[in-house]
């Protein structure tokens, strides 16, 4: 593990010539980070993103569909605001995703016309993990705290051992956390659509 930099690797394929993709990427990153240094098959952009020093290395190569653009983003973990152990909420993956879309715009077309594919779609999964873990941590802990005195009152002989209500509270918190993960990670799934429908009906009834 690199304790100095957090690394991100993504790639995108565009319906354009490699030289055109590289020129568009260079223009986007000049606005995003500022300092550009050309390399043999791409360039390196340096600057700051969300108060963290960032180095983005771009490489372009020919592909069947047009050109493949690869980016390695290194973000310095330590700043005066603290230390970044993980990319909470997938912020930097989201930034790369925005760069890819802006490059497609620079190429003179809509996303569907210029951008064939990209690997930064894992952002929704990261958000799902974050939301699910937070819900499990907060809700699960709260339910367990409420269940412990109930177990001690009904099953005094258990002592410090986990009682059935405490176990049930842990399971319920875990199941809700998993549900929240799938809701945010896969918003177009049938389960997520069902939950949104129920929530919408509840709002309509309240009105």
List, for residues 66-86, the tens digit of each pLDDT value.
899 999 999 998 887 677 777
Is 63 found in the same domain as 154?
A: no
- pTM given for the model: 0.60
Is 160 found in the same domain as 98?
A: no
Share of the chain above pLDDT 90, in %: 24
Q: Pick the closest to residue 136 from 107, 174, 80 (CA basis).
A: 174
99: confidence class by pLDDT, cuts 50, 70, 90: very high
| pLDDT for 88 beyond 90 | no
Q: The domain containing residue 139 runs over which residues? A: 125-206
User: Among 18-27, 90-99, 131-140, which stretch is predicted with the lowest mean pLDDT?
Assistant: 131-140
Is 129 found in the same domain as 114?
A: no
Is 105 found in the same domain as 18?
A: yes
Last residue of a domain, one of 118, 133, 166: 118
Is 131 found in the same domain as 105?
A: no
Last residue of a domain, one of 89, 118, 147: 118
Last residue of a domain, one of 118, 146, 176: 118
Tally of domains within the chain: 2
The better pLDDT of the pair 160, 117 is held by 117
Give the separation between CA 183 and CA 191, rounded to whole angstroms.
Answer: 7
State which H helix or E strand residue 37 sits in: strand 35-39
| Highest averaged pLDDT of the listed ranges 2-11, 39-48, 131-140, 188-197 | 39-48
Is 201 found in the same domain as 137?
A: yes
């Amino acid at each position: 593990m690199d304790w100095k930099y957090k690394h991100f690797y993504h790639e995108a394929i565009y319906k354009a010539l490699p030289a055109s993709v590289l020129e568009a990427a260079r223009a986007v990153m000049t606005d995003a980070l500022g300092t550009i240094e050309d390399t043999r098959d791409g360039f390196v952009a340096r600057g700051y993103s969300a108060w963290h020093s960032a180095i983005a290395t771009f490489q372009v190569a020919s592909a069947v569909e047009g050109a493949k653009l690869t980016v390695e983003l290194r973000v310095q973990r330590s700043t005066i605001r603290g230390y970044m152990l993980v990319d909470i909420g997938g912020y930097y993956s989201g930034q790369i995703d925005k760069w890819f879309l802006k490059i497609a715009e620079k190429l003179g077309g809509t996303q569907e016309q210029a951008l064939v594919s990209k690997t930064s779609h894992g952002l929704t999964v990261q958000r799902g993990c974050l939301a699910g873990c937070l819900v499990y941590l907060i809700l699960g802990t709260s339910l367990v705290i409420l269940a412990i005195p109930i177990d001690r009152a009904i099953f005094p002989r258990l002592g410090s051992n986990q009682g059935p209500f405490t176990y049930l509270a842990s399971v319920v918190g875990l199941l809700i956390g998993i549900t929240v993960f799938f809701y945010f990670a896969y918003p177009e799934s049938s389960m997520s659509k069902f939950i949104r429908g129920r929530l919408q009906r509840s709002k309509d009834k309240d009105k």
